Amino acid sequence: MEFAKDLFLTDARSPYLSLLLASRDLDAHRLLSALTPDEEAALHAALADGVAAVRAVLATAMARQSPEAGTTSFGCGT
């Protein structure tokens, strides 16, 4: 079972990332499957908070890599 929140860092919808909570064994799957609707809503809210925190960190990195900062390389040899 998986719960995911998508993260778009720009209005152009790129870079496109997802924050994912996934069960990796049967016990975790049972736990996530047994969530009440209120617990599921709370889990989605927690993931949304996580997305906001990740966006803040990555925005700093993107600003550092902007053309105005002198580089657009993401370390992939381009």
pLDDT tens, position by position, 39-48:
999 999 999 9
Count H helices and E strands in the chain, helices first.
Answer: 2, 2
pTM reported for the whole predicted model: 0.72
Instruction: List, in sequence order, every residue forming a beta bridge with 22; answer none if it has no partner.
Output: 2
Confidence of residue 68 (pLDDT cuts 50, 70, 90): low
pLDDT digits (tens, 9 = 90+) for 10-67: 888 888 999 999 999 999 999 999 999 999 999 999 999 999 999 999 989 988 887 7
d(CA 47, CA 23): 15
Is residue 67 reached through a cis peptide bond, with omega within 30 degrees of 0 on the bond before it?
Answer: no
d(CA 23, CA 3): 9
Confidence of residue 77 (pLDDT cuts 50, 70, 90): very low
